[in-house]
Amino acid sequence: MSAISLPTDISRRRDRRRGYAESLKGWTFVSPAALLLMLIYLVPLAMLLALSVTDYQLGAVVTGFVGLDNFERAFADPVFQRAFSNTLLYVAIVIPFGVGLALVIAILIHQRRRTRSLYEIIYFLPVTATLVAMATVWQFILHPRLGPVNKLLQTLGLPETHFLSDPALIVPTLAAIGVWQVVGFNVILFLAGLTAIPRELYDAARVDGASAPLDRFLTVTWPQLGPTTMFVTVTTSITAFKVFETVAVLTKGQRGTEVLLYAIYLEGFQYFEMGYAAALTLVFMTFVLLLSVWQTFHLDRRVHY
């Protein structure tokens, strides 16, 4: 028996040694990416988690553990609640218009041959422009007395409108600027999606009798754009949730126009309540994550690849 067991024993040991060498090689290959991933994403996230259960203030000497107090405070805080509902309203306007308008524009541009790239550039300009700088332009455009929009309204016999100071209008106005900013990028994405639709499908639809524009859209374009639409919707909603610049420049959160990111910014960098701001950030991240996951899975079931 021993004569037989001896060689297998040796070979097993050799196998194990080779296994260690193999796994060491594997870890070596993985480590640069793993290390970067840790440093860039996981460590900051862990720090955020740690901060959110403390009362740490920027520059404070003593910091204490406060458990879930920060979260309790957040959900009872009227400012945070207002920021939450304002953000939801903002997102609810930006998603349908930012996606729908982009789709319509993309379809219109797609049929242009020579002027297509010109339109692409025009619609893409707001994406390249800095929103902070452009916000000041919007401030002028929407100014109650000096702005061209109000001039236009006056010539139409409508009353002077305070877009950026009437509490009922501020969030929709900010959302309109948000749509303006996001549409160009979405147009480019939709154009890419439209270009990928095979011509023969449109030919087949025409032969089958789907030659009217709406029939063609419902039979070929819309179903074929499914994956693009899903991607555009998810990215647009994330962008919308992160609204900050326009609020910071145009309203500074006055007249009840706080949005989530602005509220976090105030807590963290104006009042130096880092612990509380970390808790708010965590709530914000969880919410955006849940929404994105829901959108992806909900839309994924209706999308054909």
Partner 1 sequence: MTLGLELRGLDKSFEPENPVLRGIDLSIRRGEFVSLVGSSGCGKSTLLRIIAGLEQADGGRVAIDGREVTYLEPKARRIAMVFQSYALYPHMTVAANIATPLIMSRLHFLARLPLLGALAPGRRQVRSTIDRAVEEVADQLEIRPLLGRKPAQLSGGQRQRVALARAMVRQPSLFLMDEPLSNLDAKLRVHMRGELTDLHRRVGATFVYVTHDQVEAMTMSDRIALMERGAILQFGTPSELYSAPANLRVAQFIGTPSINCFPAEIDSAGTVSCLGRPVSGMVTSETRQRASLAVRPESIRLSARSEDVVFGATLRRIEHHGSEYILFAEPQGRDQLVRIRVSGAALEGQPLAEGQALTIAFSAADAHLFGSDDRRMDVSLFDAPVRLQSA
What's the CA angle centered on 286, arms 297 and 168, to 5 degrees? Answer: 95
* Residue 223 engages partner 1 in binding (rule: CB under 8 A): yes
For partner 1, the closer CB: 144 or 223:
223
Cα 284 to Cα 23, 31, 53, 180: the distances in Å are: 39, 31, 16, 24
209 binds partner 1 per the rule CB under 8 A? yes
* Shortest Å distance, C-beta 217 to partner 1: 12
Here the contacts of 20-29 (C-beta below 8 Å, separation 24 or greater) are: none
Binding status of residue 300 toward partner 1 by CB under 8 A: no
> Is residue 229 close enough to count as binding partner 1 by CB under 8 A?
no
3-state secondary structure of 119: helix
| Residue 212 interacting with partner 1 (CB under 8 A) | yes
Which sign does the torsion angle of CA 282, 283, 288, 290 carry? positive
Please report whether residue 196 would count as binding partner 1 according to CB under 8 A. no
Q: For residue 199, give the amino acid letter.
A: R
Out of 15, 72, 166, 208, point to the residue binding partner 1 (CB under 8 A).
208
Q: Are 190 and 228 in contact (CB under 8 A)?
A: yes
Cβ closer to partner 1: 141 or 303? 303
How many residues sit close enough to partner 1 to count as binding (CB under 8 A)? 21
How far apart CA 275 and CA 258 sit, in angstroms, is 19
Residue 204 makes contact with partner 1 by CB under 8 A: yes
Q: Does 219 bind partner 1 (CB under 8 A)?
A: yes
Q: Does the footprint of partner 1 cover residue 215 (CB under 8 A)?
A: yes
List of residues contacting partner 1 (CB under 8 A):
198, 200-201, 203-212, 215, 218-220, 223-224, 226, 304
